[in-house]
Structure 1
Amino acid sequence: MERLVVLITGCSSGIGLSLAVRLAADPRGAYKVYATMRNVAKKERLMECVKGSRKDTMDVLQMDVTDQQSILEARDMIKEKRVDILVCNAGVGLIGPLEVQSLEVMRQILEVNVLGTIRTIQAFLPGMKARRSGRVLVTGSVGGLQGLPFNEVYCASKFAVEGVCESLAILLQHFNIHVSLIECGPVNTNFLANLRRPEPDEETLTRVDPRTRALYDTYLQHCDEMFQDAAQEAEDIAEVFLEAIRSQSPALRYYTNSALLPLTTLKLAARDGSQYVKSMSQFVFSSHKAQEP
């Protein structure tokens, strides 16, 4: 049986690591996994997790999705000279009042989340088209389906990814290539720890009005509660990826957390959006009443 070749971005931790381990440990040996990461010095945890698995089921490659040459070099190192399943998982987060976000930081977010995803797909799409076969799976977010306060730039990047994937899905069905978005809510990974955000006591926030600072503080408390109450484990998200990979007729979207669907449904149902905005505001800010300045 010829193994399916899978390339995954962002495998140093979290969802990418969990998915790479699950596929590499497949008891049938059905997959050859190329686990990529920007900094291969961080591969130790991944290698520890696959200890005991077949040694020929996974290779680790250096790949920076913000560097076109890095992507092409990784592609050229694939022994099979093809990728059957491409998983675009690399991503970064950014929260905080929009007024304090620098242009440089905002560009970095867009470079990774939007252009990084596009660059990666560009590199492997011609081969899939030529073979008339392939799967493209992208780590989406509830922040790509609905706006979240203090996440304006992150949501913009994820909304853009949704548009890219929807557009490609229409075209690529004519090449027998399936595109799927795995829509995640809060996940217990290093994503939150690595999230770029100003803390409430940072000097940068002194440029922001007191009311916004109070709401931001409330939002941070809300985030902490959400991660305590609703966050999923990376292994659970990997299971949803596996569902999409194994499906003979994969869907465009897979939702990992049903607890977040009501607000998404409300947004789609609201004609002018005003009811959704009110409901989202109550959902985020009602649990901790921000003090008036």
Structure 2
Amino acid sequence: MEQTVVLITGCSSGIGLSLAVRLASDPAKMYKVYATMRNLAKKERLLDCVKGLHKDTLDILQLDITDQGQILEVNLLGTISTIQAFLPGMKAQGHGRILVTGSIGGLKGLPFNEVYCASKFAVEGACESLAILLQHFNIHVSLIECGPVNTDFLDNPQRAEPGDCSLQQVDAHTRSLYDTYLQHCGMVFQNAAQDTEDIVKVFLDAIQSSNPAFRYYTNNALLPLSSPKISALDGSQYIRTMSKIIFSTNGKEEQK
């Protein structure tokens, strides 16, 4: 059986690492995985995880999709440029699949995450636009919409930059709201964060489906938050609901 060729970006940790390990270690050797990362010095973790089960199924390559680690460049421009690089080959062979890691932050605005949400909203629009066109080439585009995920990213100190200002420069009320937001994030991650293996299962569903969907949701517990957007199209209900959920204390919304 001919192997399915899979390119995975960002394989030094997190979802990319787990997905590369799962596919490269497939007992039937159904996949030929090209796992990319910016710094090849970090490849040992991937090699340790596959434990020698990757003969003929895994190549590790260096790929840096941006000169600077800026959020918009990585999430949006990096995604688009990577897709565009491989589209000619997919069109020529008459089929292909593109799976993009989406985020709850690409479907819902979140405070103190303006740039991140903007980048992920843009990815949603880019993928939706491509999906409409690429169906005529038998190329399927799917977004894997992730909620909180237990990855190395969570081990880093949490930082936020309201606008372009540091937290030390903002007013006291904004700082207080930020502290409340961090408490909310802690509760969300404690109650709803998923392991990367849970995310990998959703990726596998999309890869193996004979008729892949455009969106796959990894965490159904977060879907009810979408209802205010649908029920009140002017957006007001969603804004009120999210403000109450995030900034309320003991059920009472914080007052200025």
In structure 2, distance between residues paired with 1:140 and 1:260: 14
Contact 2:181 2:247 in 1 (8 A): yes
Equivalent position to 1:160, from 100, 122, 130: 122
SS of 2:211's partner is coil
Partner of 1:49: 49
Shift of the 40–196 alpha-carbon distance from structure 1 to 2, 3 Å rule, reads farther
SS of 1:155's partner is helix
Shift of the 206–195 alpha-carbon distance from structure 1 to 2, 3 Å rule, reads closer
- After superposition, give the CA deviation of every residue in 1:67-113 in whole Å (9 maximum; x if it has no partner): 5xxxxxxxxxxxxxxxxxxxxxxxxxxxxxxxxxxxx98xx111101
- After superposition, give the CA deviation of every residue in 1:150-197 in whole Å (9 maximum; x if it has no partner): 111000000000000000000000000000000000000022335772
Which deviates more, 268-277 or 241-250?
268-277
Structure 1, unmatched stretches of 5+, are 68-103
- After superposition, give the CA deviation of every residue in 1:29-84 in whole Å (9 maximum; x if it has no partner): 000001100111111111111013141111110001115xxxxxxxxxxxxxxxxx
Equivalent position to 1:246, from 208, 228, 243: 208
User: How many corresponding residue pairs?
Assistant: 252
Shift of the 9–191 alpha-carbon distance from structure 1 to 2, 3 Å rule, reads same
In structure 2, distance between residues paired with 1:24 and 1:17: 11
Contact 1:214 1:291 in 2 (8 A): no
User: Does residue 227 of structure 1 match 2:189?
Assistant: yes
Partner of 1:147: 109
Deviation at 1:264, TM superposition (A): 1.4
What amino acid is aligned across from residue 7 of structure 1 in structure 2? L
What value does the CA root-mean-square deviation take over the aligned residues?
2.0
Equivalent position to 1:110, from 66, 72, 87: 72
Deviation at 1:130, TM superposition (A): 1.1
In structure 1, distance between residues paired with 2:41 and 2:156: 17
Deviation at 1:204, TM superposition (A): 3.1
Partner of 1:191: 153
Shift of the 186–123 alpha-carbon distance from structure 1 to 2, 3 Å rule, reads same
Contact 1:214 1:290 in 2 (8 A): no
User: 1:78-227 counterparts in 2 under 5 A?
Assistant: 108-194=70-156, 197-198=159-160, 204-227=166-189
Contact 1:15 1:238 in 2 (8 A): yes
Shift of the 283–133 alpha-carbon distance from structure 1 to 2, 3 Å rule, reads same
**Quick one: percent identity of the two aligned structures?**
72
Which deviates more, 264-273 or 129-138?
264-273
Partner of 1:94: none
Which deviates more, 57-66 or 262-271?
262-271
Contact 2:248 2:254 in 1 (8 A): no
Q: 4+ runs of 1 displaced by more than 6 Å? A: 288-293
How high is the TM-score relative to the length of structure 2?
A: 0.93
SS of 2:166's partner is helix
Partner of 1:261: 223
